[in-house]
Amino acid sequence: MTTIKKTKVLIIGGGPAGYTAAIYAARANLKPLQALGLQPGGQLMITTDVENFPGFGQPIQGPWLMEQMHQQAEHVGTEMVYDFITQVDFSQRPFVCQGDSETVYHADTVIIATGAQARWLGLESEEKYRGFGVSACATCDGFFFKDKRVAVIGGGNSAVEEAIFLTNHASHVTLIHRRDQLRAEKIAQDRLFRNPKISMIWDTAVDEVLGKDIPHKALTGLALHNLQTGAKSQLEVDGVFVAIGHTPMSEIFKGHIDLDTEGYILTKPNSTATSIPGVFAAGDVQDKVFRQAVTAAGQGCMAAIEAEKFRGL
């Protein structure tokens, strides 16, 4: 039997952007309803030590931070549902969103905070050492590899930028690419090739992430093979950063709001407003530049304030 729930603000997603939007909306007495989706907490649920979120003197755990945000949003009055939104209709207000639970949500405004997922290599060993040497965010985790050897996998702008950034911490960075030339912008490539702390491995794929479990789980290297010659080799590194792109979680919004060619939701300058008045987007589903928990939280705050000021509430 279909259940209908009505709300002034429906928040779709449960990461830093969604929780912060919920906190601000609840404190504005908008009585928000938050659909947490399939993975409440987002990418921070697979992040171990977090040192770059302001307010904590010591490293904290990503899942713990998300638990605290969840509790804070709930404490100030957010109604939370463990539901996954499968369909939306933004053609008229109130907006209509269909949940996997067969609940239908009628909302005066919607804040989309569904995030993005890093693209991974798809290796079982990669998943095993994720958070123990395998990362998809140099800005988040580069500090932990001070004076150590690391590898970056990829060939686009993100991979080149990550490799250059990591030279601020690592003793040496090896960029591994499947092809014989990079896809990154020429100016970024020039900076990369000029950096004495970076070396290249061309035409090569990663077969396996190597590591140890005793006395503690840690990555020790990569098993590689050359795609041209078939030659196999191993590279000793302490960490590997997978930089083959992110996928914004925006599939259900195609055809309903404007997206860019990569699927990121387009918002107006200095705003979280989308192409549909009353629909806002915050966090990694619309931000492909910074992709940080703190910037996602800031955008969640912006979205809630803009939803509060939206005419008609």
Residues recognised as catalytic: 137, 140-141
Q: Check: CB of residue 182 under 8 Å from CB of residue 163.
A: no
Q: Is 29 left (phi over 0), alpha (psi -120 to 50) or beta?
A: left
Q: Which residues contact 152 (CB under 8 A, 6 or more apart)?
A: 138, 159, 162, 163, 166, 173, 174, 175, 176, 240, 241, 243
DSSP string across 252-271? GGBTTB-B-TTSPBP--TTS
Q: For residue 219, what are the CA distances in angstroms to 49, 119, 126, 199? A: 16, 19, 10, 20
9 forms beta bridges with 109
User: Is residue 39 helix, strand or coil?
Assistant: coil
First to last CA, the chain: 29
CA distance 13 to 249: 10
CA-nearest of 204, 142, 132 to 171 is 142
Burial class (CB in 10 A: 0-12, 13-18, 19+), 79: middle
Please name the helix (run of DSSP H) or strand (run of DSSP E) that holds residue 33, with its range, or none.
strand 33-35
DSSP annotation of 37: -
3-state class (DSSP) for residue 157: helix
**Tokens at 74, concatenated:** 């709930």
How many angstroms separate the CA atoms of 16 and 32, rounded? 16
